Amino acid sequence: MRVFYLLLFVFFAKGSFAQKAFLFPKLKSQGSSIEQLTPSHWTLIENASGDLNNDGLEDLAVVFESDKITDETRTYGDNNSDIIKETQKPRILAVFFKDRESNNYRLSVQNNDFILRSEEGGKLGDPLNQIAIKDQQLYLRFKGGSEWRWELGYTFKYENKDWFLTSAINLYFNQNTGDMTERVYDFKTRELFTTVGNLHRRDIANRKTSEVLYFSQLRTFKTFKKPWAWEILPNVYL
């Protein structure tokens, strides 16, 4: 009987271990170089530099990817439903401000969810297209699909000690026919500009409209979990 209970304990222990959620590392709060800031068993895959907080210094935005493949539960749809498990390499987005006195980089934000993974781009492969810093704003660009393709762009700005989504663009088009829908969001002015028509004949075939965006507060990295997770209009996900 004692052997039976021992085997039962080992069985459940193995099951609990197998179901243990992936734990993201907590990034260093500061460092003098990207090498110092890169966590163990992770690799730098993208980076950009530029002034993000209007102090005249070159700040740093980076994307780290885990060296190990693991199971991740990723959210699609409205942040609550359409949750699926994917097997891939997790990614981290981090922004560091340059400190004038120490000349070190100091961590401003670590986000473990927003950057799409390498397996989330469909037949086009890795969807991470660009990370850039321009006009004191952080730009993130993604693309993917197959015959029907999509492009997503998000612009975040550091204000009042937080990172706010200020604008976005969502382009959906057929690579063969050119049929497309493009939505450009300006969250500062609460405007949405929509273009429906043809990608190859923009001047003569497209219909442009504008409308007011209704939302309570500007989204941040904390309140906008990841691409495709905000139903900003009925059946329209950003």
- 182 sits in which H/E element: strand 179-186
Alpha carbon distance 39, 235 (integer Å): 39
- Domain annotation covers residue 2: no
Closest by Cα among 219, 91, 92, 227 to 157 = 219
- Domain annotation covers residue 39: yes
- Domain annotation covers residue 22: no
| pLDDT (tens digit per residue) in 67-81 | 999 988 887 655 555
Residues in the chain predicted with pLDDT less than 70, given as ranges, are 1-20, 76-83
| Sign of the alpha-carbon dihedral angle for 198, 201, 207, 208 | positive
Asked whether the beta carbons of 141 and 159 are under 8 A apart, the reply is no
Closest by Cα among 191, 195, 186, 182 to 167 = 186
Q: What is the pLDDT of residue 81?
A: 52
- Domain annotation covers residue 5: no
- Domain annotation covers residue 93: yes
Provide the domain count of the chain: 1
Q: What is the pLDDT of residue 9?
A: 39
Alpha carbon distance 155, 165 (integer Å): 6
Per-residue 3-state assignment (H helix, E strand, C coil) for 105-151: EEEEEEECCCCCCCCCCHHHCCCEEEEEEECCEEEEEEEEECCEEEE
- Domain annotation covers residue 18: no
Q: What is the pLDDT of residue 77?
A: 56
| Sign of the alpha-carbon dihedral angle for 195, 197, 200, 203 | negative
- Domain annotation covers residue 100: yes
- The boundaries of the domain holding residue 82 are 31-237
- Domain annotation covers residue 8: no
Alpha carbon distance 123, 141 (integer Å): 17
The helix/strand/coil state of 13 is helix
